[in-house]
């Protein structure tokens, strides 16, 4: 069995190296948070981190096998869409530390609903607790706070809870600006939903005794790519390209942030969200209703699920239909544009149309 051999080899290799392993999972923001953590920790330590989002039963072993003898910290992203998958990945990686970004409406079909998502992602907590390992936590997330309240070996961050490391959001218009210990950190990430991703990296930097000036440098130097929270300036338009993935939680957060931005002409291109199972129609309807309530200049809903929604917004069943529509009705004025969808929609192609 090639796969089992790969996994066993990875665990064996991990045990022969002295590197500490930080495991990372969650519904949204895993890859961005992983990149930020690596940007901060690599200012002081020799690190390796998951490449891209190679975070499954093959990707995790490959990350472990990239650990070298002089590696001090390995940041291992773990993805899952069913119960027991995080547990299995923990048995392979044997993490010393862990962090869950959040619990959202992602992979509802595979996990069996929102409670299933919480249960599945929390398998990381269970492993770390059983091994008396350190857990990083967002103390302002009620699910994390309730699950870890009595656990001693934790390091948390919070906006205002005094017993935790305080990190505050200053603004996000468009880039996330943070204040910590009197120092202001300005990231290149768009959207207040990226605040906790930055805060987690800052908190880990603090835990691992990295000077705040170096933490600041790590956060400020990180530039998003791969269609994740990128700001693209094109033909006079400011485009928020967040088309790598989407679920109801991240889509709602992106719309809320877009709504709060100070811009005159706002246009949203929203594509289908995948892996929602029986909840798909209801979740797409809810997003359509939310977008309609925000009174943007234009909203384009693209995909078969959005096409079934009952809404006054423009609906186009396929990307080809959108392409034909924009050829006849091009975007003429300088606009601020949001592009958000699941990976399978490949909505970054819109850049060629506007």
Residue 284 and residue 153 share a domain: no
Is 99 in the same domain as 199? yes
The predicted pLDDT at position 316 comes to 98
Last residue of a domain, one of 221, 254, 273: 221
Strands annotated E in the chain: 20-25, 47-49, 73-77, 97-100, 134-138, 154-158, 165-166, 168-172, 175-180, 183-190, 230-234, 237-242, 266-271, 298-302, 314-316, 336-340
Same domain, 138 and 30: yes
CATH number at residue 276: 3.90.190.20
Nearest CA to 135 out of 127, 126, 143, 125 is that of: 125
Counting Cβ atoms within 10 Å, is residue 275 exposed (0-12), middle (13-18) or buried (19+)?
A: middle
- d(C-alpha 261, C-alpha 264), whole Å: 9
If asked whether residues 185 and 238 sit together in one domain, one would say: no
Helix (H, G, I), strand (E, B) or coil at 230: strand
Beta strand 237-242 pairing with 230-234 = antiparallel
Give dist(CA 149, CA 139) in Å, integer.
9
pLDDT computed for residue 239 by the predictor = 95
pLDDT value, residue 103 = 87
21 in Cβ contact with 48 (< 8 Å) = no
What's the CATH code of the domain at 206?
A: 3.40.1190.10
Radius of gyration (Cα) for the chain, nearest Å?
21
Identify the pLDDT of residue 344.
Answer: 94
**Residues 208, 263: one domain?**
no
* 22 and 113 belong to one structural domain: yes
Q: In what order do the strands lie in the sheet with 183-190?
A: 168-172, 175-180, 183-190
How many C-beta neighbours within 10 Å does residue 295 have?
9
Burial track 305-329 (b if 16+ CB lie within 10 A, e otherwise): bbeebebebebbbebeebeeebeee
Say yes or no: 160 and 241 in one domain. Answer: no
Spatial CA neighbour of 225 closest among 51, 9, 93: 51
Quote the distance between the C-alpha of residue 271 and its chain's center. Answer: 18
Host domain of residue 91:
2-221
Q: Do 198 and 68 fall within a single domain?
A: yes
User: Do 11 and 148 reside in the same domain of the chain?
Assistant: yes
The answer to whether 302 and 340 have CB atoms below 8 angstroms apart is no
Q: Cα–Cα–Cα angle for 73, 75, 80, nearest 5°?
A: 155
Task: Indicate if 151 and 262 belong to the same structural domain.
Answer: no
Q: Are 156 and 273 part of one and the same domain?
A: no
Are 263 and 134 in a shared domain?
no
Cα separation of 200 and 146, whole Å? 18
Looking at 171, 193, 221, which one is the last position of a domain? 221
Where does a domain end: 165, 197, 221?
221
**Tally of structural domains, the chain:** 2
Per-residue pLDDT of the chain (354 residues; tens, 9 = 90+): 999 999 999 999 999 999 999 999 998 889 999 999 999 999 999 999 999 889 999 999 999 999 999 999 999 999 988 889 999 999 999 999 999 998 877 677 777 778 888 888 999 999 999 999 999 999 999 999 998 988 999 999 999 999 999 999 999 888 999 999 999 999 999 989 999 999 999 999 999 999 999 999 999 999 988 788 889 999 999 999 999 889 999 999 999 999 999 998 999 999 999 989 999 999 999 999 999 999 999 999 999 999 999 999 999 999 999 999 999 999 987 999 999 999 999 999 999 999
Contact 31, 78 (CB under 8 A): no
Binning the chain into helix, strand and coil, the percentages to the nearest 5 are 40, 20, 35
């Amino acid at each position: 069995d090639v796969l089992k051999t790969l996994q066993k080899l990875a665990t064996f290799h991990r045990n022969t190296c002295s590197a500490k392993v930080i495991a990372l999972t969650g519904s949204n923001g895993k890859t961005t948070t992983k990149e930020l953590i690596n940007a901060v920790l690599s200012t002081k330590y020799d690190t390796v981190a998951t490449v891209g989002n190679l975070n499954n039963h093959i990707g995790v072993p490959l990350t472990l096998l990239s650990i070298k003898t002089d590696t001090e910290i390995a940041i291992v992203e773990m993805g899952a869409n069913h119960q027991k998958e995080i547990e299995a990945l923990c048995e392979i990686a044997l993490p010393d530390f862990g962090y869950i970004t959040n619990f959202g409406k992602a992979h509802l079909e595979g996990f069996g609903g929102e409670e299933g998502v919480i249960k599945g992602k929390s398998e990381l907590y269970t492993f770390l607790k059983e091994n008396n390992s350190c857990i990083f936590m967002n103390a302002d997330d009620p699910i994390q706070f309730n699950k870890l309240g009595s656990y001693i070996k934790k390091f948390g961050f919070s906006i205002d809870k005094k017993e935790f490391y305080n990190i505050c959001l200053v603004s996000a218009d468009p880039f996330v600006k943070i204040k910590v210990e009197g120092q202001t950190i300005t990231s290149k990430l768009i959207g207040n939903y990226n605040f906790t991703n930055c805060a987690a990296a800052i908190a880990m930097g603090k835990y691992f005794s990295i000077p705040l000036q170096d933490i600041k440098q790590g956060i400020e130097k990180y530039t998003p790519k791969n269609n994740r929270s990128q700001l693209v300036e094109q033909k006079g338009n400011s485009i928020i390209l967040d088309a790598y993935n989407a679920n109801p939680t991240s889509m709602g957060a992106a719309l809320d942030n877009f709504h709060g931005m100070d811009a005159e002409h706002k246009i949203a291109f929203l594509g289908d969200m995948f892996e929602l199972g029986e909840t798909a129609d209801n979740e797409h309807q809810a997003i359509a209703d939310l977008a309609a309530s925000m009174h943007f200049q234009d909203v384009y809903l693209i995909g078969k699920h959005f096409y079934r929604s009952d809404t006054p917004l423009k609906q186009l069943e396929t990307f080809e239909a959108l392409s034909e529509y924009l050829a006849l009705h091009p975007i003429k004025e300088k606009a601020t544009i949001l592009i958000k969808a699941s990976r399978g929609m490949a909505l970054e192609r819109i850049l060629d149309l506007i």
